[in-house]
Structure 1
């Protein structure tokens, strides 16, 4: 029996008449989506296997609860009279379906078109959920969210909200969702204001000056020339055992740096040794969540900063780690200067690929592993159906809780090249 009618939920606040500007990051995502709908690399797919007596009706109701709680899940895009994109938060529909599949069906086949089917940006919602029954007490849960309304941090925010609401629904009580100290649209208005202040000509020129003579494209042996194809990505773990990862954290404390900064320097050293060029530029998405009030918010709350790292290809790994720390700190000084503004200052043509670099470095902080909740065993599955906008990305789990991964467009690389890169990177980490 459905629990939909028995659990009261506070109605969503309608913002149909209120249109809010897009942040600079959202503007770049919007443009990329217009150029390649569904193939832009901005669809975020999270897949979980759920074992136990799952109540689909309670889950469906919990999704509605989550949407009413998080403004980002009610977002759609519109255009103003002069054609400028804006966002409103008035969507009250949940794109949801429940179906059955044969036991043992590969996850890639289950995800299928759901991961790349374009969203209707004007009508929304900009997320979809598919629950697939694969056995008597087993389901696969697929959540696809457009990056216009999410970021890496939002994975955990959404999951905690959904599970809390699901538990309440199964117990037929009202979901207890605390009121946020700051709303998402308030964060957006403040972010846009800070971006406008940061776009003063002197600030933009200062941020762009350190990249004027920087290399644009890293081109090692084994990487094909020309534009990327359909952006379908392969994910390859760096072969590091748990003791090596713990040793990395300890070594970082000795040097006085974070693991992320250390890996940025070692990543630059890896790239430099492949080409003999001691400078690389990587694009790094950085979350704007310094204020504790930001922690419970879901949304696109990131900036991308170009990090220029200078290393000696023949130098010691410790020097590369220090270079990674220096480069990251320098880049963060210009965090509020929009990435697209820097590109324009450098007079780089816009396009469907990153205009500054073909390399990226991300911190991936989505919940991983297996969790037990409300009589269910929930296992987060490896990422599938990925698209990538860069030729090589290093994905670092938050806190370096497990091994980093290399993310590449598979059709752009000669077989075996990326595996060799992963091995060489593991050797650099071990040497440090």
Structure 2
């Protein structure tokens, strides 16, 4: 009996039928709570456990209602992924069609927005509900490349009986997440799927490479939009006295006057014209611009505090498998900020350790390597720009007088499922 996780791609390349039989036995034992004949890959084993807790039917899944055509179209038009669809198609559809595969693009909820590729395979996909408007998140259909990549936040390949639902086991799927380079937000996934017998070891690498290429295109489009905003903002700021900055809708700086330049001003989740407290600037007056904001910073000593007051209350919400937020409420108002996966990990660690953590301790918590302090300090610098006045350093900790509430999943094993940080893995385990 082997204890090493299965190398599915290598085994399938040698003997696809043997791989399918072995995986089927592993899945059956795991779902029955028995000792399997081999260990599933960690990303698959963890997904099976999550799916079991969700109560998904292992035979048929939980077929969800297909979205109406008008709602699908509305999601397509509002998704940033629509701008990079030609890049995804150019990189994947021709290859997928020739290999008897299809390409699928979903949003961050796992809803299929676009599908292209081999016609015969598309008809087969209709038979299992893998079609536009269907939800392929884990809570709907269990372990699959789309849903599991959304949770794990990294590329995932799922082969044959690694799928949780039996009716999906004649398929192989490879998916990679797509992120918005402006704020790190998860936008969706791109997936290549087809009959399990057609699995190819290079599919995962190809899907990952094309996903990175598409994210690069989004980054270039963003830089171009900031340049356009800068052309409008620069002459405007020349006529303004005091401190002011022009930012795009995501807080990226286009122009600045009267203060040191910054790459980005963290903006609350809900941001409106008028008086606002920004964690990195203090009290400001905000005016709308085309595709951005003019932010005038109050002079020192004005009626608004420069930093978040000591009576602040912080709520760190990690209950969801794919989205996490930090909310701050105090005398200056309240705001909510979405968190990147890394910042969610860091704030979780600090919430668990009121006495604080040094950079070396956090490096050990995150990477199992106390020497990686440079990476930790860089990330903590970014976090502190978002939470100025709320976080202290030497050691890193929540400031004195700040009340912190940690909202964790009901099941510890569902905590930050994307994370491989040793301290998070320990917190997921029983008694952690």
Give the structure-1-normalised TM-score.
0.24
Greater relative CO, 1 or 2 (CA 8 Å, sep 6+): 1
Give the structure-2-normalised TM-score.
0.24
